[in-house]
Amino acid sequence: MRTAQNNAETVTAAVSYYGQPDSDPEALAKLDTPLLAIFAGRDRSIPITDVRAFRDSALTLDKPVEVVVEPDALHGFANPGDARYNESSAARAFARTIAFLRQHLGA
């Protein structure tokens, strides 16, 4: 997320899996790069309230952010080497990632 915020002139689109959301309007003001932010609904290290605050701030500021929450997933759900791997959540997140990148990067 920070790469997209701080490098809008060189980053065309960005995807973040379970990154720490920053709902501060000043930080979000720099975000002009389309961002897909994917979170785990049962992530103990990133409260869903923080995810919602990030989403709401981005919407209020009309930022190009799409927030997806995998409701039954834990942090690390998309990592097949992690004990918290969730195959169905990972597959959905990967499909969203591919569709998002195709939309913004072409191909």
HEC readout, 46-77: CCHHHHHHHHHHHHHCCCCEEEEEECCCCCCC
> What average pLDDT does the segment 8-12 reach?
86
pTM, two decimals, is 0.92
Confidence check: pLDDT of 106 > 80: yes
Q: Could you tell me the two tokens for 47? A: 């409260």
Q: How confident is the model at residue 69, as a pLDDT?
A: 97
Confidence check: pLDDT of 6 > 90: no
